[in-house]
Amino acid sequence: MIILFYGEDTYRSRQKFNEFIGHYKKTYKNGLNLIFIDGETAKFQDLNEICSTLAMFKEKKLIAINGLFSSKELKERFIEEIEKFLKSKYLFLLYENKNILQKDSLLKVLKKNAKIQKFDLLEGLKLKNWIKKEFDRYKAIAEKGVVEKLIECLGSDTWRISNEINKLVSYKLDSEPIKISLGDLNIFLKPDIDAEIFKTIDFLGSKNKKSAIELFQRHLETGERPIYLFSMINFQFRNILEVKDAIERGYDYYKILDKIKLHPFLIKKSYYLAQKFTIDELKKIYQRLFEADLNIKTGKVNPETALYMFIASI
């Protein structure tokens, strides 16, 4: 049997992988037939030799391979020998910490022969329910507004959400029951500047300059440096322009994920925002950002003024 866990949400796919390994260890406590292989560095000969040895104590052997899709040689040979692996008594658990193009040759073969679970980024009610379950794992209670605030600040980044919940629970560990309030959350968490920048660009794409200015003003009032805000705007518009260019070339979403080396969350947001601008609009915006950056560096204008001038020009 072959099982594959993969997807954009690498936290949940990794969590599922670890759960599976944990269940195996509970069932077969000596662990002598649990083999881990790094797919990025291993050779097919290594895998073949492991599969040629007999399992000890008549236990089912579990071969866990991380990164099989990253090695061209190992992937191609795995496809060639897949019938042999399927007929063997071994269980192959494959894990990928990245998304996989749907047209990938190995993925196409596995779709016909393996059990596959894909972990997409969570949104809406699914994300809220997942966060509530994370609190439940710690036997903690999230008071009104906490779940929504986590989503507002961290979006669909389950790695960061999990880390923040862990910190919050540790902070309130002495209380019984463990209740997490918005006040507790504000001690550790401030709005994710990336998420706020995306909101600002979304407002600009909708010609809502008033809301974009209000967001900037809020960050300035909390002590964010104007030059940092400007650099983030510059960075995100560059990403959007790159994604838009790929769309114009006819690339689909998954090819863009493979082509552009950014976090899948950034790709997803940039892909959405790219629909709000034409390629010519984005090129003009990027030119304005370049000119504003030059004016800041040469002392012709201060960063805060440059920000407001840029928003007014969109």
Peptide bond into 177 cis (omega under 30): yes
Of 103, 118, 133, the last residue of a domain is 118
Contacts of 182 (CB under 8 A, 6+ apart): 143, 144, 145, 146, 149
Amino acid at residue number 61: K
pTM, whole model, 2 decimals? 0.59
Phi, psi of 117 (to 5 degrees): -130, 115
- Domain identity same for 164 and 265: no
- Domain identity same for 22 and 112: yes
- Domain identity same for 163 and 198: no
- Domain identity same for 140 and 217: no
- Domain identity same for 17 and 64: yes
Place of tokens 């990336």: 194
Please report the pLDDT score of residue 280 as a whole number.
92
Q: How far, in Å, CA of 87 to CA of 110, rounded?
A: 14
CB count in 10 Å sphere of residue 100: 19
Are the CB atoms for 58 and 29 separated by under 8 Å? no
Please report the pLDDT score of residue 59 as a whole number.
64
Range of the domain at 103: 2-118
Contacts of 93 (CB under 8 A, 6+ apart): 3, 5, 17, 20, 21, 62, 63, 64, 65
What is the distance, to the nearest Å, from the Cα of residue 130 to the centroid of all Cα atoms in its chain? 15
Length of the chain: 314
Please report the pLDDT score of residue 58 as a whole number.
60
Q: Pick from 215, 210, 160: which is nearest to 193 by CA?
A: 215
- Domain identity same for 184 and 209: no
Q: How far, in Å, CA of 65 to CA of 69, rounded?
A: 10
Are the CB atoms for 314 and 281 separated by under 8 Å? no
Of 118, 143, 171, the last residue of a domain is 118
CB count in 10 Å sphere of residue 120: 14
CATH number, position 65: 3.40.50.300
Phi, psi of 91 (to 5 degrees): -105, 125
- Domain identity same for 100 and 136: no
- Domain identity same for 103 and 158: no
CATH number, position 142: 1.10.8.60
- Domain identity same for 98 and 19: yes
Please report the pLDDT score of residue 94 as a whole number.
92
Are the CB atoms for 139 and 116 separated by under 8 Å? no
Q: How far, in Å, CA of 314 to CA of 306, rounded?
A: 13
Please report the pLDDT score of residue 229 as a whole number.
80
Residue 81 class from Cβ within 10 Å (0-12 exposed, 13-18 middle, 19+ buried)? middle
Tens digit of pLDDT at every position of the chain (314 positions): 899 999 888 889 988 998 998 888 888 776 667 888 887 777 888 777 777 765 555 667 888 888 888 888 888 888 988 888 888 778 899 998 877 888 889 899 999 989 999 999 898 999 999 999 999 998 999 999 999 989 888 888 898 898 889 888 888 777 778 899 888 887 777 656 666 777 888 888 777 888 888 888 877 777 777 887 888 888 888 889 999 999 998 888 777 877 776 777 778 888 888 988 999 999 999 899 888 888 888 888 888 888 888 888 87
- Domain identity same for 218 and 304: yes
Domain count, the chain: 3
Please report the pLDDT score of residue 25 as a whole number.
85
Of 170, 188, 206, the last residue of a domain is 188
- Domain identity same for 176 and 206: no
Amino acid at residue number 165: I
Please report the pLDDT score of residue 93 as a whole number.
93
